[in-house]
Structure 1
Amino acid sequence: MTRADIIVIGGGIAGISAGARLAEHMSVLLLEAEPQLGYHSTGRSAAIYIRNYGNATLRALNAASEPFFDAPEGVSDTSLLSPRGEMLLATEAELDELAAYAAEAEGMEQLTPEQAVELVPILRREPIAAAAIEWSARDIDVDRMLSGYTRLLKARGGQIVTGAPVTGLARQDGTWQVRTGTGTYSAPMIVNAAGAWAGEIGAMAGAIPITLTPLRRSAAILPAPEGHDVRDWPLFASASESWYAKPEAGKLMVSPADEDPVDPHDAWPDDMVLAEGLHRYEQAVTVPVTRVETSWAGLRTFTADRTPVAGFDPLLDGFFWLAGQGGYGVQTAPALSEFCAACCAGLAPGLPDSVRTALAPERLSPPV
């Protein structure tokens, strides 16, 4: 039996970043069900840092993560961010949604419809009633981030076992026994960073019942519109988030921004959902969609209040929840991994009390 001070279940960006931080203080063993790390949500991320994205708790986590992205010590020698910008477009029917977003945001600049079209020349002018841009939104180099955290975890003595889905969890004499297809592992503490499967891991362990709902999000790569160089365009999206488009390696990634509840699985796009989303996108631009080069889908897993759950389970000793990151997992990973490591190592967490309370697992548990 392989032993460690702590076992991290899940090899996406949440688990890998937490493992790398924890390895500074204790021996770490990370278990990933898939043959490779970052296979599910991490590898299918939109890969953009938007400080104003999400509710108040998420915006606090975004802000706490930004210094790491700019200077990712131990993970990369250079910033993980590059300029992009995020532009929101509102029709008359979406003006209230744009106003509500802007009211809670910092650093948003109002644009005229003409300015919006100047930034993205394929936009149709007629339906744009208002627009706003967050210039500070930036692309994230997710591959470099994941590989950097992986190197850091290994450099600090951490072990990674892939192809090891968890089949059983039990606590005996103050130690967790974790059964997988590759063997049994033990540690006094566990971090549940299993993404869409975190609810199943919690139930297997006998933790408090937390509802975690995976929502499918689809995307497609379209060729760049003829005669246009899209590389310097911002991400552009409807204010109601009914679609968005982002330059990707000289082409355009377009998403229907779908949120269909599904069971945890290796997600794939629904052809009808994708077609309907591309139609909504077509209504906003002057260039028809004539070819889809490739498409995919990922799972964004949410709690009931759409805020991550991070903290020790109130019923189980040594069981730490790190789940429910939804569509914010990559850009909140630096802050949440530091928080996880501090809690598990018995150090002072670096987040305000209000944020810690908002993340606490007990908020999601029905009263006994």
Structure 2
Amino acid sequence: MTHDFLIIGGGVAGLSAAARLAPEGALALLEAEEALGYHASGRSAALYEPHYGNPAVVALSLASGEYYHGSGLLSPRGVMFLDGPDQGARFRTHVAEFALTELSLAEARGLFPILNPETVGFAAHAPSAWDIDTDAYLQRLARETRAAGGEIITRARVERITRLPGGWEIAAGERVFRARVLINAAGAWVDRVAALAGVAPLGFTPLRRSMARISLPAGLDPATWPMVIGGAEEWYCKPDAGALIVSPAEEDPAEPHDAFADDMVLAEGLARYEAMVSAPVTRMIANWAGLRTFSPDRAPVIGFAPAEPGFFWLAGQGGYGFQSAPAASALAAALLCGRAPDLAPEIVASVAPGRLT
């Protein structure tokens, strides 16, 4: 059997494209790991804040709003920025970029009770940020793909890709697949997949982001607290199942691998967090890391490779894969099926692979 579409990568990018494309033709999705969303998609901060990211990301995220707000996948969270007393200019830049409302420190402590008024000089908040039920979203996409006849295969690490007249042959696991179009949604591994296919890599860089789940003092319930971002986005925290997730927000280049947190980086990030709160870190419950993969200009890459019309890039979502996935997958499906995209031409051009060649 020759599939119309073969997707490599079972994270949110690949799965959202699969759900769009399965009704359009025979489709298979290959995931190297034993579970879908194993790497970056399974280690996301899971926030829909459509103003967060570079212009291309913001455009895709805003265009995803209609889907998300009708999906039942969102719950209110809000976002708060804190900065030091001597960082007024930087703070005002954040206020403008994220459409925030400046708060007094008393008002800010009403939303985030562990704010330290002795070290925080500025605070601002926006309600327009929501938690995404990422597990439910991935499960929904998988169900929609299978219901439309798409095949999802896990433990299918791609070992060989061969160009055939009018298509591709892909050896993965113990099976060999043939497809008319190959869609590269392999996250941190996208350049390696391209090289296997004989397509020039575009220079993607995986960047490690570490996370720690910490306990809070007895009597504190963070359920209604906003996500809080500190200073020059050098740490952030977010409620999670009665505890807090704290990240040092690092961007350390890494080779594609099953990422793990760096103890020293975590310690430095937790120290930056502690400097702006009144509750010291007493216990780390767990820690982990993910790889956020960026193109050279940090915008996603969505479209056919200029010199290879059967090879489609769906890559470089960075840390914004979930919040942009509905619009990104709709754009991919339109381009793959020869339809006019709903997005403005300048947005389509801003994520086209040709800009990087």
1:81 matched to 2:65? The reply is no
Residue in 2 aligned with 1:99?
A: 92
| Alpha-carbon distance in structure 1 between the residues aligned to 2:320 and 2:90 | 20
Q: TM-score, normalised by structure 1?
A: 0.95
Residue in 2 aligned with 1:68?
A: 67
> In 2, are the aligned partners of 1:41 and 1:298 still within 8 Å (CA)?
yes
> In 1, are the aligned partners of 2:210 and 2:266 still within 8 Å (CA)?
yes
Q: Give the partner amino acid of 2:89.
A: D
Cα deviations by residue, 1:268-320 (Å, 9 ceiling, x for unpaired): 00111111111111111111111101111111001111110111100112111
1:210 matched to 2:166? The reply is no
> In 1, are the aligned partners of 2:192 and 2:201 still within 8 Å (CA)?
no
1:105-144 correspondence runs (5 A)? 105-106=98-99, 108-144=100-136
| Alpha-carbon distance in structure 1 between the residues aligned to 2:129 and 2:107 | 18
TM-superposed deviation, 1:227: 2.0
Name the SS for the 2:213 alignment partner: strand
TM-superposed deviation, 1:31: 0.5
| Alpha-carbon distance in structure 2 between the residues aligned to 1:228 and 1:67 | 34
TM-superposed deviation, 1:93: 4.4
Q: TM-score, normalised by structure 2?
A: 0.97
> In 1, are the aligned partners of 2:300 and 2:315 still within 8 Å (CA)?
yes
Name the SS for the 1:327 alignment partner: coil
TM-superposed deviation, 1:3: 2.4
> In 2, are the aligned partners of 1:220 and 1:253 still within 8 Å (CA)?
yes
1:324-343 correspondence runs (5 A)? 324-343=316-335
TM-superposed deviation, 1:87: 0.2
TM-superposed deviation, 1:58: 1.0
Q: Give the partner amino acid of 1:200.
A: R
Q: 2:164 aligns with which of 169, 172, 176?
A: 172
| Alpha-carbon distance in structure 1 between the residues aligned to 2:75 and 2:190 | 32
Tell which deviates more after alignment, 142-151 or 176-185.
Answer: 176-185
Q: Give the partner amino acid of 2:269.
A: G
Residue in 2 aligned with 1:32?
A: 31
1:1-368 correspondence runs (5 A)? 2-72=1-71, 79-106=72-99, 108-365=100-357
Cα deviations by residue, 1:319-345 (Å, 9 ceiling, x for unpaired): 110000000001111111111111111
Cα deviations by residue, 1:202-231 (Å, 9 ceiling, x for unpaired): 122222330111111111111122221111
| Alpha-carbon distance in structure 2 between the residues aligned to 1:22 and 1:3 | 15
Percent sequence identity is 48
| Alpha-carbon distance in structure 1 between the residues aligned to 2:11 and 2:276 | 34
TM-superposed deviation, 1:55: 1.3
| Alpha-carbon distance in structure 1 between the residues aligned to 2:262 and 2:117 | 30
TM-superposed deviation, 1:27: 1.1
| Alpha-carbon distance in structure 1 between the residues aligned to 2:253 and 2:169 | 32
> In 1, are the aligned partners of 2:215 and 2:282 still within 8 Å (CA)?
no
Cα-Cα RMSD: 1.2
Q: Give the partner amino acid of 1:92.
A: P
> In 2, are the aligned partners of 1:94 and 1:240 still within 8 Å (CA)?
no
| Alpha-carbon distance in structure 2 between the residues aligned to 1:151 and 1:245 | 32
Q: Give the partner amino acid of 2:73.
A: L
| Alpha-carbon distance in structure 1 between the residues aligned to 2:274 and 2:56 | 34
Residue in 2 aligned with 1:76?
A: none
TM-superposed deviation, 1:127: 2.0
> In 2, are the aligned partners of 1:44 and 1:297 still within 8 Å (CA)?
yes
| Alpha-carbon distance in structure 2 between the residues aligned to 1:257 and 1:94 | 19
TM-superposed deviation, 1:102: 2.5
Name the SS for the 1:188 alignment partner: strand
Q: Give the partner amino acid of 1:310.
A: I
| Alpha-carbon distance in structure 1 between the residues aligned to 2:174 and 2:103 | 56
Extract unaligned runs of 5+ from structure 1: 73-78
| Alpha-carbon distance in structure 2 between the residues aligned to 1:289 and 1:103 | 32
Q: Give the partner amino acid of 2:18.
A: G
> In 1, are the aligned partners of 2:158 and 2:171 still within 8 Å (CA)?
yes
Name the SS for the 1:60 alignment partner: helix
| Alpha-carbon distance in structure 2 between the residues aligned to 1:249 and 1:120 | 16
> In 2, are the aligned partners of 1:208 and 1:314 still within 8 Å (CA)?
no
Q: Give the partner amino acid of 1:339.
A: L
Q: Give the partner amino acid of 1:323.
A: A
Q: Give the partner amino acid of 1:39.
A: Y
| Alpha-carbon distance in structure 2 between the residues aligned to 1:238 and 1:263 | 28
Name the SS for the 1:304 alignment partner: coil
TM-superposed deviation, 1:103: 2.2
